[in-house]
């Protein structure tokens, strides 16, 4: 069913080797790798206040609580493998159609799958840096122990992810703007569209650039009303189908 729907839609698009696709990724894309989303039932924030776990204030109040939450996630990430979405997007890059993957996910699975054009806009959970900005950093190959992780300066190390109230890296944001302005198609995969500034990226690509928006999600999101095509269903099944169809369309 979704195959016909995507095919029909692609017939209305001018697909060629000049087509520039950008993918915006959320935690729904890592569900097939065994990782959880944030919101909703069984989500990482279920029964918890997001700001207690993912903000400077939360870390200051209870570094052990925050590190306990991250250590559990780090263990799961270290045991996870890339899934069919990561692999299909690598293929799209190799075929010259995918200019950038803008991922909110901190699990590093795109790079592990072999994707080279990745912007990890919310950071990476397997890296840490000093909470007090002394400059010391580390890379995790196993779950940290003991926690909270101490820094040699006397402060703590913290996960190198972007917490609420923190600015996103400005070099990354400039690259994102460039990619969104030149995109012909933006794929929005497995994200609720709840968190800014990423929530603004698709509409920016459409209104300031010339992008067609295609969303892949099991449920409607904050983006669903503005997209040109909504492909409902698990992205681990719909993305490989989409990639095959667009590669066929490119040859025609
Ligand atoms: C599937 C699927 C399958 C499931 N297939 N689909 C008021 C108004 C506007 C903005 C603000 C405001 N108050 C504060 C702000 C700013 C704030 C913000 O956006 N808050 C909102 C909550 C309102 N943003 C910030 O603070 C950002 N910084 C910033 O704006 O700087 C400027 C500034 C500075 C100071 C003051 C104000 C502004 C930083 C945001 C950083 C967010 N960080 C987190 C944690 C990262 C670290 C970590 O991983 O621990 O990033 S929050 C969390 O949400 C994480 C995610 O990357 C992010 C997005 O979540 P995602 O991936 O969309 O997950 P879900 O669970 O929401 O959705 C999953 C989706 O998948 C669902 O739709 C499912 O249906 C779908 N799905 N299975 C396809 N198989
Ligand atoms: Zn330090």
Determine the pLDDT at residue 54.
Answer: 96
State how far the Cα of 165 lies from the Cα of 58, in Å rounded to an integer.
11
Determine the distance separating the centroid of ligand 1 and the alpha carbon of 128, expressed in angstroms: 20
Given ligand 1 and candidates 44, 66, 196, which is best to mutate, with the most ligand atoms within 8 Å of its CB? 196
Which atom of ligand 1 sits closest to the CA of residue 38?
A: 66
Report the side by side order of strands in the sheet with 212-217: 118-120, 98-103, 21-25, 185-189, 212-217, 229-232
Catalytic residue set: 122
Which atom of ligand 1 sits closest to the CA of residue 85?
A: 5
Determine the pLDDT at residue 40.
Answer: 84
Helix axes of 84-94 and 235-251: crossing angle, nearest 10 degrees: 20
Give which of 82, 74, 107 is closest to 236, Cα–Cα.
Answer: 82
Q: What is the pLDDT along the chain (252 residues), one digit of tens a residue?
A: 588 999 999 999 999 999 999 999 999 999 999 999 999 889 999 888 898 999 999 999 999 999 999 999 999 999 999 999 999 999 999 999 999 999 999 999 999 999 999 999 999 999 999 999 999 999 999 999 999 999 999 999 999 999 999 999 999 999 999 999 999 999 999 999 999 999 999 999 999 999 999 999 999 999 999 999 999 999 999 999 999 999 999 998
Given ligand 1 and candidates 46, 164, 198, which is best to mutate, with the most ligand atoms within 8 Å of its CB? 164
Determine the distance separating the centroid of ligand 1 and the alpha carbon of 251, expressed in angstroms: 37
Q: Which phi and psi (to 5°) does residue 195 adopt?
A: -110, 130
> For residue 242, what are the contacts with CB-CB under 8 A and spacing of at least 6?
6, 88, 187, 214, 216, 231
Report how far apart, in Å, the C-alpha atoms of 240 and of each of 35, 83, 113, 134, 180 are.
19, 10, 14, 44, 22
Nearest residue (by CA) to ligand 1, atom 38, is 165
State how far the Cα of 174 lies from the Cα of 112, in Å rounded to an integer.
24
Q: Which stretches of the chain are assigned E, i.e. beta strand?
A: 21-25, 98-103, 118-120, 123-130, 137-139, 157-161, 185-189, 212-217, 229-232
* Tally: H helices and E strands in the chain: 9, 9
State how far the Cα of 144 lies from the Cα of 206, in Å rounded to an integer.
42
**Nearest ligand (C-alpha, residue 107):** 1
**Nearest ligand (C-alpha, residue 131):** 2
State how far the Cα of 182 lies from the Cα of 220, in Å rounded to an integer.
26
CB atoms within 10 A of CB 242: 25
């Amino acid at each position: 069913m979704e195959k016909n729907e995507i095919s029909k839609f692609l017939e209305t698009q001018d697909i060629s080797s000049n087509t520039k696709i950008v993918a915006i990724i959320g935690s729904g894309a890592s569900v097939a790798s065994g990782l959880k989303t944030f919101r909703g039932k069984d989500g990482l924030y279920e029964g918890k206040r997001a700001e207690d776990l993912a903000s400077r204030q939360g870390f200051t109040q209870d570094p052990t609580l925050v590190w306990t939450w991250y250590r559990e996630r780090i263990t799961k990430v270290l045991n996870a493998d890339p899934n069919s979405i990561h692999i299909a997007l690598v293929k799209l890059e190799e075929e010259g159609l995918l200019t950038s993957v803008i991922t909110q996910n901190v699990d590093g699975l795109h790079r592990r799958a072999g994707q080279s054009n990745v912007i990890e806009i919310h950071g990476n959970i397997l890296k840490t840096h000093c909470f007090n900005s002394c400059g010391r950093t580390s890379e995790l190959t196993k779950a940290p122990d003991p926690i909270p992780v101490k820094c040699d300066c006397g402060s703590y190390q913290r996960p190198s992810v972007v917490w609420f109230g923190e600015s996103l890296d400005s070099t990354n944001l400039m690259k994102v703007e460039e990619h969104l302005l030149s995109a012909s198609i933006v794929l929005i995969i497995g994200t609720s569209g709840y968190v800014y500034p990423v929530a603004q990226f698709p509409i920016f690509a459409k209104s300031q650039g010339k992008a067609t928006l295609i969303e892949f999600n099991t449920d409607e999101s904050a983006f669903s009303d503005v997209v040109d095509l909504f492909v409902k269903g698990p992205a681990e099944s719909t993305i490989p189908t989409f990639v095959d169809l667009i590669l066929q369309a490119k040859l025609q």
